Each structure stands twice: as structure tokens, then as C-alpha cells.
Structure 1
Amino acid sequence: MKWLLIGKIFFTSFLLGNLLSSCVKKYDAPPIYAGSNLKANTTIKSLYDSHLAGNNEQFVDNEIITGIVTANDANDNFYKTIVLQDSTAAISIRMDGFGLSANYPIGMRLMVKLNGMWMGEYGGMLQLGGGVDRSDPLFTELVPVPAALFSKHFLSVGMDVLPTPLEVSYNQLHDSLHSRLVRLNNIEFAITDTAKFFGDAINKLTTSHSLKFCGGGTVYLRTSGFASFASVKTPRGSGSITGIYSEFGSQRQLMIRDTNDVQFNQNRCIFNGPAVLFYEDFEQVIPNQSLSIPQWANLAESGNQFYQIQSFQNNRVASITALGTNETAVTSWLILPAIQLNNSSGEQLSFLTRDAFDNGAGLQILLSNNYDGKGQPWKAKWSTLNAIIAKGSVGGVSAVFTKSGNINLSNYAGLVHIAFKYTGSDTGPLASRKNTNYWVDDVKITAQ
């Protein structure tokens, strides 16, 4: 180890000499931690705990963190960024330099002296940087740590054991995993995203591809058009994928370091139970606004009231109520994309509902063979499906979701539409109003 240290010191001195005599800009390797009394005095999780949502905060109390580099710009998918992870959490660090991977390789343990640095959010993700750009008063932006300050803030402790990727299911993907190295199993690209380029290498644009869990749920793989593997095509099979987990707004995302992170060596999803023809849990839809999902229809027959996306206890649902409309008659439709039933058998529909302040508004589940999917569903012919719907929570929100039961669809054939139809009112004496709030979640259609 002594000779290794002497070698590193010699190399650093040699590099510094070249910097002084060269006109070409190069970036210093991080100073080597010499085993002094300098120690980490906080954790990455503590940074998250101390952060106020929406704020930019500067460090002034000599905080020091340590962690292992789990991602960098080696293949140009992480732009001017390294990701640091300790035993408690992980965070991205914006650094104003290119070729960061040469001096901050994956597996290196760093100590980061935070004094003078800043933390703030981008798309809901907490990051570390060197300052804040306030030139636009409506949009402040965290800026990278200047290259001249790398040696002040970052100290190399040496190479360490890379953290084992945390294996998580779709339902375990929450804010606490931001920037963490994770592995997702039993997953595949959506059929429409197979054999597609990982990124847009021609126009240098970031590309998003849907990754579908075999048991239901979607995350999106984001790849920069500058990534060295942007022109590689996505595989057709299924398996596991490793990467850095993130969120942008409401969208759950993953970024890989290189294509070795994608191990799709199996056939397309093999199910231990029924095949999933359709699944929607609304987790990718932005909350507190009218529900808008491609190929879904959200229509108001009367009362001008639409289904909304509501978030409650980190769970997003489709929500509908006549409350506040002051309308005599409220009729609202939420219609699934068309489902083809000719290519399967034993189809079943299931979903969850929850009611709140129940005073008699209605929620029906309907199926149509002749709705054209282009609007005005009230002009089509619909059959009522026998489902269990939440009811009776007159004093507030029901404590749990109600399971619909498995609704048999095998008696139907061809292209069908399934709709949630709400009927209510919000005029007259309080006792006569029918403005129950209904939540709908985890809509699934399976087949044998």
C-alpha cells in the first residue's frame, strides 16, 4: 500500500506539472484522502430529511458525506453528473466537467465536503451542485460545481465494493429510492418499444421507452441521444434490468450505465397465473388535474364534470364526484382503450373502488360492442357488468379499497369498450344531493 500511495502521489505531481505547461484544459484527479481526522459527519438520507420541498439550500456547517460512485458519464448517458450512494440513500451531483469517469470511476469511494455547495430539485429529484441560477425569477436552477472547485469538495478514499443493486418490485418504487442503484426483475420492453434504438443518435434527443413488469406496472427507460449505445436496438425478450432510479414529475424512470445493465435473456413474459391483457394503476399520471391517458376517453355527458387524478397516501387514483358542480344532473364517463377478446379465453375484469361521503351517487361498470371510441358513448348500446362497488362510507373516506371481484368477460367477443359511468347531482337541499366521491384503481383484465 505504501508503494501504491507513492505511485499515486507521483502520478498526481506529474499531472500537475503537465497542467502548468499545457494550453489544453484538463481536470485534476480528486485529491487522495490521506487518512487524517477528516470523517463523514452526516448521511445522504439526512440531506433529504433536511430539505424543504421546492427550496434551494446552501451548506454552511461543514457537513461531510461519503459514498460510492454508482454512475458517471463513462458512456455519456449521465451528462456532467456522477451519482453517489451510501448505506442510507443516493444522490446525483452535478459537476461542470467532461470525462468525469476518468477521475471518478464507478466503485470509487468519495468524501464530499459540502460547505459552500447547494442542493435543490430538478423534476422532483434532489441534486447537489455548486450554485443557483436566479436569472429567471420564475425558474431557479441548480448549476454544476465548477471544475476549479473539484479538488476543494471531492476527496478520493480509493476504490471500494460497488453496492449490490436493490431488487425492488413495481409497488416498491417510491421517493426513498431516488438515485439508488436498483434491479427490476421479470420485466420487458413494451412490444411497441422492442427492436427500437435506445436513444436518438441522429437528432441527439433523449428517448423514452416503456418497460412493463410481467405482473403489471410500467416504468420508463430514459436514454440520451449522446449515449454511446444510443444506436443499439432494444431487446425483445424479458429478464432483469439494473440502473439508477429517478422520477420526473409523476413518471417513474430508470437510466442505465451501459447495455450490460440490460439482461433480457428469457422469452417474453412467462406468467405463473393469468396473462395480463390490460393493466392501469394511474401511477404515471400527473395528480390534481383532469385524467388524460392515451386511448382512454374522459367525457362529460351532463354537468361538465370529468374524472380527476387524485393522490392519497402516495397512491394515485381516478376520482370522480359531483360535489361543487352545482349541477342538477352530473353524468361522467371514463372509458378504457378498446380490448380485443378474440385472441384469448377466460377473460376477467377486476378493479378496486373506494367511496367517500357516500350519499347515493351511482357508479356503474358497463361494456359495449358497438361504441366507436370517438365520443358520445351515451349513444351506444351498453351492458351492465356485475361488480362489487364500494358503498356506505357516509362520514368520510372508506378505510380500505373494495375489490370488484373477478368479472367474467368470456361471454363477449371481438373489440369491446369498458366504461365507468358516474351519475350524481349537486343542487337542492343537502339531504337530496347525491355527490358521493368515488375512487377507481388497479384496473386489470386477465386471460387464461
Structure 2
Amino acid sequence: MKRSNPLHPFIILFILVFACVADDEYEVPVIDDAQVTITGSEISIISLKQALIQEMQTNGNQVLTIETDLYVTGYVISSDEQGNFFEEIMIQDEPADPNAGLRIKIDSNPLFQSYEIGRKVFVKLSGLTVGIDNGQLTIGLRDGNRIGHLSESRMFDFVARDTIVAVIEALPRLISELNEDMLNTYIRLNDVQFNRDLVLGDRPLTYAGEPGDQFDGERTLESCTENATIILSTSTFADFKSQELAPGKGTIEGIFTYNFFGDEFNIVVNNLSSVQLDSPDRCDPLEVDCGIASNPGNIILFSEFFETMVEGEPINGNGWTNFIESGTETWEAFFDDGANGSLGISARMGAYMSGDDSNIGWLITPEINFDQQENEVLSFKTSNSFADGSNLELLFSPDWDGNPETVVLATWKLLSSAVIVQDDDYFGDWIFSGNIDLSCIEGTGHIAWKYAGSGDPDFDGTYELDEIEISRE
């Protein structure tokens, strides 16, 4: 009787090992796409948030556990396929023109095969807990007074898939129009670009691949249609973290959210196909950069320490032009001997509680003739009171005629060597500008400090200015 030879043990091991290797990086789950039957009463995401706020205000609790048979409906707008999201999905209440969004914490990775972008889902609320986590409306399982993750084994019990996969239409918005009501919705920003310091020059930055990037890379996007910026946040685990930032101007689509600390608006993309910044027509300001001088001059051409100004009154005299481009606020004299102390009497401009959609104020020096001497140097000090998203720039105009009505028509160039206080600088410090070299400027011109903000709490900061000197050797 002829018998077959048994398989060699090595061959058996080889077959077992390679039979376990998936065709792709992830094992594709088997998902039943049959029509889902949902019981209970539907409420909106907005109603869910209002119930949480009521619980906070009435009972002082920071989270709310749902004990009734309720559910919310939403459409998935996030994807972890390229690693920029982790153990969470974001949904909004409509595929287009959404009213609200919700973050769902799920202890599973990846999620994009189960909950792809556009998938309609029903979130069964009974037994879940809602709260504000990292500044965002978030739902999951209760973990003390925090929001924990749903387990992978039960995620379909709580987050049921519908058969519908809708096309998500990004909501077009200006940066200044973004507010907390739009959190966790899919937005589009038009006419934006990365700040020139990030992308121009010999070494453009990457999305999140720099040595200093920990957990997330934060890159400033600026609008070309308004004076506003927002942070693009990218995970250091994203597949595209080491790609260089797009250098042009254009459109970007992503989820509008908060940073990890819940204190600054961010936009987060699912992948780089959402970043269409390919126009070379950037909107960078014109610049004048003569560099930094080693020392100031010993002859003063212009000086202002504001000590003769009247506290609480607009800055005037000494050749100043104090011009309001928009809003109701102006540069004014102030005195403060507290933690945010002034330097005697100082100048300040801010939009706190202004109620204005836009506040832009200019403080402009008298005309200076740069042909009458050489080696001019400018210096000053700035401080801030929670600058937030407001902005202060130092500008030079070679052609302004001195008429306040023509300020916005003149050519203004950024004096880019100046150091101006930033929002993350300690509010009680006064920051020295450096000795700004003006020696490359010819002819006559004016120097201006331009403030831009608004009554919106995210853009209503205050800047302070003092000890201005223009000197020469």
C-alpha cells in the first residue's frame, strides 16, 4: 500500500504563519449593512448640548449620563485612515449646512472602515455620558467625572450604521465667522495660506515632523481676505506629518475643533487632498527689512514716552495721527500700577467688549525725512493684556500724504525685523523691539502701529505701547 509522506514541520509552520497575514495593513471587518431599526425618541445634537448645559447650571455637574431611550442622528466627517485622528469619530447633524457636531470616543483603531466619511449613524444615548472634553461636546462611557471610551465590542450597540453614505459638503466660512456653535463640523476656508515664515525660504516646515513637535504640529494659517489666523493642527502620528507645508494660497477643508487644551480654535484635516494651497499668488505683505542695528544712535530724531498724555483720552499731539479705520475704539493713554503695569503713562489699543464686528486702529508718527541723516534706528516696547486673536503690526509708508482719509489708500510695508509681544508672552512683561535698522529707507515716510481685532471674545485682545525712539548717529 502506497502511503503519502507527512508534511515537514517547517512547512506546516510556514503555512500557518503566512495564512495569518492579511492582504492589507488592516483586517477588513465584516459589517452587516441591513436596514437598522432604531427605537426611542430622536433628539438633535443641539438639544443634547442644551441638556448638558442645564445639568451644569442646575446641579453643578460637568457631565450628564442619559438614562432614557433617546438617540441622535449624524454623519461621519472624520477619518483615521491616515492617522490624524485616533480612537474617535466626529459627526455632524447634516451632510450639508450643519447646525452642530459631536465627538464620539471609541476604544478602537482604525475606525474608518466601520465609520467612513459620510456614513449616517444613529447614536443610542441610553447609558452614555455627555460632557465637554478638550473644549468639545463629547460622548462616551462615564469614567468618574470624565468621558471615557466605548469598548470596541460594544461600539455597534451604541453607534449604529445606516445604509446611507452621504456626500459631505464643506461649510464655507471666514476665519472670523467661526464660533463654538460650529465645533466638530466640516468647514472650508477659502483664500488662505500658511504664514510666510513657515513655507518660504531654504527650509520650509513640515506638517508635524519637526524636532519640537510633540503630539501635534501647530502651523498658522492666515486669511487673504481679512486680518485673521487659525491653527492647522496635525498629529505627529499622521502618515503625512513629514511632508512639507503647501507653499501657495488656496482652499483648505477640515474639521473645526479645539486644540488639546480646549482653549484655541484649530482646523484638522483628514488627509492632504483637503489642502489645496497651490496658487502662487500669495498675499504676503510688502516688507522693509534693513536688519537689526548693533546700537541705537546718540541723537534723537523723534521720541514719545506718553507722559504728557491725559489718562483715558485718545493719543494726540507730538505730530501723531490717531486714526480709526473701523469700529469705535482708538489708541488711548492709560496708567496701571498693578500686575499689568504701564511704564508711567503708556498707550494702548484694544477691542475688549467693544461690540464691534471689526476694530482697526492706527497710530502714525509725523513724517520723517530719511535723506537728512544716516543710520536711523527705531526702538520701542510692547506689552499685552491677553492679545488672543488680535494683532499688532509695525508698518512703514513711503507715500502717505498725511491725510487721515487716505491712510488705507497708501502703500504700507511691514517692518519685519521688529519684535512685537505675542499672546503667549507673560502679560506683565514689556518686550523690547530690538534696535530696528532703518538705514536702507530713502526719502520721506511715516511709521505706524496698526491694531486689528474685534469685539468677538477670541479677537478682543489689548496691546500696550511705550518708550518709542527714532535716533541716528
TM-score bracket for the superposition, by shorter chain length: 0.5 to 0.7
CA 1:321–1:62: 2 relative to 1, 3 Å:
farther
1:178 maps onto 2:179 in alignment:
no
1:257 maps onto 2:266 in alignment:
no
Contact kept in structure 1, 2:218 and 2:234, CA below 8 Å: yes
* Structure possessing the higher radius of gyration over alpha carbons: 2
1:45 maps onto 2:52 in alignment:
no
| TM-score, length basis structure 2 | 0.56
Kindly provide the amino acid, as one letter, of the partner of residue 276 in structure 2.
Answer: Q
CA 1:81–1:440: 2 relative to 1, 3 Å:
closer
Q: Return the alpha-carbon distance in structure 1 between the equivalents of residues 33 and 117 of structure 2.
A: 16
Deviation at 1:200, TM superposition (A): 2.3
Contact kept in structure 2, 1:131 and 1:145, CA below 8 Å: no
Q: How does 1:241-390 map to 2 (within 5 A)?
A: 241-248=252-259, 249-269=262-282, 331-334=345-348, 365-367=363-365, 372-373=378-379, 375=381
Deviation at 1:240, TM superposition (A): 0.6
Give the match for residue 396 of structure 1: none
Give the match for residue 125 of structure 1: 136
Q: Return the alpha-carbon distance in structure 2 between the equivalents of residues 250 and 376 of structure 1.
A: 24
Q: Return the alpha-carbon distance in structure 2 between the equivalents of residues 372 and 167 of structure 1.
A: 42
Deviation at 1:183, TM superposition (A): 0.8
Give the match for residue 234 of structure 2: 223
Q: Return the alpha-carbon distance in structure 1 between the equivalents of residues 110 and 223 of structure 2.
A: 34
Q: CA RMSD in A?
A: 4.8
Deviation at 1:146, TM superposition (A): 2.1
Deviation at 1:79, TM superposition (A): 1.3
> Is the partner of 1:244 in helix, strand or coil?
strand
Give the match for residue 168 of structure 2: 163
Deviation at 1:300, TM superposition (A): 10
Give the count of matched residue pairs: 322
1:200 maps onto 2:209 in alignment:
yes
Farther-moved stretch of structure 1 (196-205 vs 153-162): 196-205
Give the match for residue 380 of structure 1: none
Kindly provide the amino acid, as one letter, of the partner of residue 280 in structure 2.
Answer: N
Q: Return the alpha-carbon distance in structure 1 between the equivalents of residues 337 and 107 of structure 2.
A: 52
Give the match for residue 100 of structure 2: 89
Q: Return the alpha-carbon distance in structure 2 between the equivalents of residues 117 and 77 of structure 1.
A: 25
Q: Return the alpha-carbon distance in structure 2 between the equivalents of residues 329 and 220 of structure 1.
A: 33
Deviation at 1:328, TM superposition (A): 12
Match of 2:126 among 115, 120, 127: 115
Q: Return the alpha-carbon distance in structure 1 between the equivalents of residues 64 and 331 of structure 2.
A: 36
Deviation at 1:91, TM superposition (A): 1.3
Deviation at 1:416, TM superposition (A): 7.6
| TM-score, length basis structure 1 | 0.59
Deviation at 1:329, TM superposition (A): 10
Q: Return the alpha-carbon distance in structure 1 between the equivalents of residues 352 and 365 of structure 2.
A: 18
Kindly provide the amino acid, as one letter, of the partner of residue 207 in structure 2.
Answer: F
Deviation at 1:241, TM superposition (A): 0.6
CA 1:232–1:355: 2 relative to 1, 3 Å:
closer
Q: Return the alpha-carbon distance in structure 1 between the equivalents of residues 46 and 382 of structure 2.
A: 51
Deviation at 1:386, TM superposition (A): 7.2
Contact kept in structure 1, 2:206 and 2:245, CA below 8 Å: yes
Kindly provide the amino acid, as one letter, of the partner of residue 51 in structure 2.
Answer: S
Q: Return the alpha-carbon distance in structure 2 between the equivalents of residues 407 and 59 of structure 1.
A: 58
CA 1:186–1:39: 2 relative to 1, 3 Å:
farther
> Is the partner of 2:42 in helix, strand or coil?
coil
Cα deviation, 1:134-186, whole Å, max 9, x if unaligned, reads 5xxxxxx4222222321320211124112211111122211121011111111
CA 1:37–1:74: 2 relative to 1, 3 Å:
closer
CA 1:407–1:207: 2 relative to 1, 3 Å:
same
1:66 maps onto 2:73 in alignment:
yes
Give the match for residue 20 of structure 2: none
CA 1:49–1:354: 2 relative to 1, 3 Å:
closer
Q: Return the alpha-carbon distance in structure 2 between the equivalents of residues 223 and 328 of structure 1.
A: 38
Deviation at 1:205, TM superposition (A): 3.1
Q: Return the alpha-carbon distance in structure 2 between the equivalents of residues 144 and 300 of structure 1.
A: 57
CA 1:51–1:409: 2 relative to 1, 3 Å:
same
Give the match for residue 3 of structure 2: none
Show structure 1 runs of 5+ residues with no match.
Answer: 1-24, 135-140, 279-298, 307-314, 336-350, 357-362, 378-384, 389-402, 422-438, 443-448
1:75 maps onto 2:82 in alignment:
yes
Give the match for residue 102 of structure 1: 113
Contact kept in structure 2, 1:237 and 1:267, CA below 8 Å: yes
Deviation at 1:410, TM superposition (A): 6.7
Q: Return the alpha-carbon distance in structure 2 between the equivalents of residues 75 and 328 of structure 1.
A: 49
Q: Return the alpha-carbon distance in structure 1 between the equivalents of residues 104 and 365 of structure 2.
A: 51
Contact kept in structure 1, 2:40 and 2:70, CA below 8 Å: no
> Is the partner of 2:123 in helix, strand or coil?
strand
Kindly provide the amino acid, as one letter, of the partner of residue 65 in structure 2.
Answer: Q
Match of 1:190 among 173, 190, 195: 195
Q: Return the alpha-carbon distance in structure 1 between the equivalents of residues 447 and 167 of structure 2.
A: 49
Q: Return the alpha-carbon distance in structure 2 between the equivalents of residues 162 and 407 of structure 1.
A: 44
Q: Return the alpha-carbon distance in structure 1 between the equivalents of residues 210 and 137 of structure 2.
A: 28
